[in-house]
Amino acid sequence: MSSAVATVQIDDERVRVTEWAFEPGTETGFHVHGMDYVVLPMTSGALTIVDADGNETVSELIAGVAYSSTSGVAHNVINRSNQKIVFVEVEHKS
């Protein structure tokens, strides 16, 4: 499976802001979040989340509706839909 495209917009002493663009069939690859973070969807759509145990859930993103999570989250994010999905992730360094 191909990788989603991560474009870092800001990376300073306080935050890292990354735009994630998921074409259909792309994924982040398994990763562990080292910082608390906020996600702001730029498009609406469904992403599949696979945790460390292989459990899958579907996350419905709504454009403009943010959500947050804490460090330590471990998962792979996959776009199994037939549309491009984009969100901006803001990681808190302090």
Domain total for the chain?
Answer: 1
DSSP 8-state symbol, 71: T
In 3D, which of 75, 67, 83, 68 has the Cα closest to residue 21? 83
Answer for the pair 47, 61: CB distance below 8 angstroms, yes or no: yes
pTM: 0.94
- Stretches where the chain sits below pLDDT 70 are none
pLDDT at position 94: 79
pLDDT at position 33: 97
Residue type, 89: E
Report the mean per-residue pLDDT for the chain. 97
Beta-strand pair 15-22/67-69: unpaired
Beta-strand pair 56-61/67-69: unpaired
Q: What is the CATH number of the domain that holds 55?
A: 2.60.120.10
Answer for the pair 31, 54: CB distance below 8 angstroms, yes or no: no
pLDDT at position 13: 97
In 3D, which of 47, 49, 44 has the Cα closest to residue 33? 49
Domain coverage including residue 10: 2-92
